[in-house]
Chains A and B, each alone.
Chain A
């Protein structure tokens, strides 16, 4: 049971490269926090600083009521699960799990009890005598999880633990980790979990909150839903969501007291609520953003204004939904539609696409901040 607090944490590697530029973050006790961001954005670096595997070159990290800057990894009350499992290849699953407890001179019977308990939770009781090379990737990762579990840590640290597994296994392990989190909570020993991933689905489904990182800086910390609906800046808008948000160049214009946004393929009237937010930007260029599901294809919408005419390039049928890639004035958009509602969209033809502007986002070009929040 511990909250994890990062205060202006910085990391400069010995070669002079500055990977982390002052991170402030409060992770609540028992929270499931996900770090997400593109490759090289310092997710691992940040996690490893919490673990104590990397020195901190600026700021402070607090776990519980202790500043852990100078505390050894073993004394931080953490456990870590690595991407490549990092199991000791010459030890059995049992010994892999027991090793840490042996090092802290835990009595044998307690070690045995804890290992078997963890093995039961993770359904690896049959594997305890096997060595890592005699196990599948998923089994190895469960043993690695077991190794973390037996330490009864306050904080679990995961560094892309599932990315070496195939898609199906990944889903089941994801659920297993979430169940573990719930189980510990139910048992009255909630554990804080910090989970690094570059997989959107993992981030969105697992996190109580998500920290979006880019180039060693925090872009936004929020719940999955808020990140999706209210991205604070251009980066988060483009990063969260798959397929990603349509982001095109636009300009705010005022005609006859009404505010419009001019984008490739059309000049669209903004609803009052949005207009208010961007009135100060009239005459300025902005980035216009709209999620694919907020573009409505031809048939369902009758008349009115606020549409773009585009020619359909590709239709991707996913079964439960369709992605329509279309071109308007040389700019590509993507719409996500329900195949029940939109039946006969054909490649190569022109259609009207209505933009649900109540859901649109507009970003300042310089600060990249969302003007419409």
Chain B
């Protein structure tokens, strides 16, 4: 019995080591560093809450935080709506539905990669494919990445385009809505739109909630896209908070300050997640499906 116990532990050791070395240790280390002036070169000195004070007095901090908030509030709803819309369509009994499912999932696999971010840069360049297509319709070329007003939107779009994984989850949820409810709704005389709003949507709220939290957390941490495509520009208009953290850590080597920033972001994500959980009982319907 006792031997068995240790054997079990042995099996999870790789994971355990990963957790300690790459998650738990940096987690607590960063908390510690956030109260120091650590700069990679010299040993850290304790500076109290100076880093946090500085943070709130820095203009760029507020700007970056504001950009992140608007990025999150553009991206998450758009992505969820898009994922749900495509899932809804794929849920019809179409021919070749498997092909479409795969096709729509592809961007999610590719999307995280640096190569696609590079591709995105070319697509939305001033002389890129998007503008070329628009030109066919007589639309003047748009400075997708050069105009501070559009750049954040273009960056958002990259995320939205990776709607595959929430879509697959939505699709599974849609499939779980019993057919007889739709039949009851037909007899009750509900239109397609009404049925979607009054029956389908409430039925999938648990999954909507799950997807919302996942996307929210991911969006707050977005880094790759803006880093590669715009580098935070133009005029810092896509300078998302993780970029600000990165620059402080690896360009200015202000590890202490950057740790404090990370902890700020952590708390923000925490607060939003908690708010979401608080709101849950008002709109999420957990139902047994017969």
Contact = CB atoms under 8 A, between A and B. Distances in A.
Interface in B257-288: 285, 287-288
Interface stretch (B4-12, B61-69, B177-185): B177-185
Given A84-B290, A89-B287, A90-B202, A103 B188 contact: yes
Contacts of A52: 186-187
B187 A88 contact: no
Contacts of B202: 88, 90
A104 interface: yes
A37 B279 CA distance: 50
A89 B289 CA distance: 9
18 contacts: A51-B187, A52-B186, A52-B187, A72-B189, A73-B189, A74-B187, A78-B187, A82-B183, A82-B184, A84-B178, A84-B180, A86-B183, A86-B184, A87-B184, A90-B202, A99-B190, A104-B189, A147-B188
A301 interface: no
B194 interface: yes
Contact of B186 (A73, A89, A147): A73
Q: Is the interface of B mostly helix, strand, loop or mixed?
A: helix
A100 interface: yes
Interface in B184-218: 184-191, 194, 198-199, 202-203, 205
Given A80-B187, A100-B187, 8 more contacts: A72-B189, A73-B189, A78-B187, A82-B180, A88-B184, A89-B285, A89-B288, A103-B194
A100 B189 CA distance: 6
A99 B181 CA distance: 12
A16 to B, nearest CB: 16
A87 B202 CA distance: 13
Contacts of A88: 181, 184, 198-199, 202
B190 A103 contact: yes
Nearest to B189: A74
Nearest to B190: A103
A225 interface: no
Q: Is the interface of A mostly helix, strand, loop or mixed?
A: mixed
Contacts of B288: 89, 133
Nearest to B205: A90
Given A53-B183, A99-B198, A133 B189 contact: no
B186 A90 contact: no
A79 interface: yes
A103 B191 CA distance: 8
A89 B184 CA distance: 12
Contacts of A147: 184, 188
A103 B190 CA distance: 6
A101 to B, nearest CB: 9
Contacts of A51: 187
B103 to A, nearest CB: 25
Nearest to A98: B188
Contacts of B184: 80, 82, 86-88, 147
Nearest to B93: A14
Contacts of B199: 88
Contact of A90 (B178, B191, B287): B287
Contacts of B186: 52-53, 72-74
Contacts of A74: 186-189
B189 A86 contact: no
Contacts of B285: 89-90
A100 B181 CA distance: 13
Interface string A345-371: 000000000000000000000000000
A133 B203 CA distance: 13
A147 B199 CA distance: 16
Nearest to B289: A89
A272 to B, nearest CB: 56
Interface string B144-185: 000000000000000000000000000000000010110111
Interface in A80-139: 80, 82, 84, 86-90, 99-100, 103-104, 132-133
A164 to B, nearest CB: 9
A244 B183 CA distance: 36
Interface in B17-69: none
A86 B203 contact: no
Nearest to A83: B180
Nearest to B187: A73
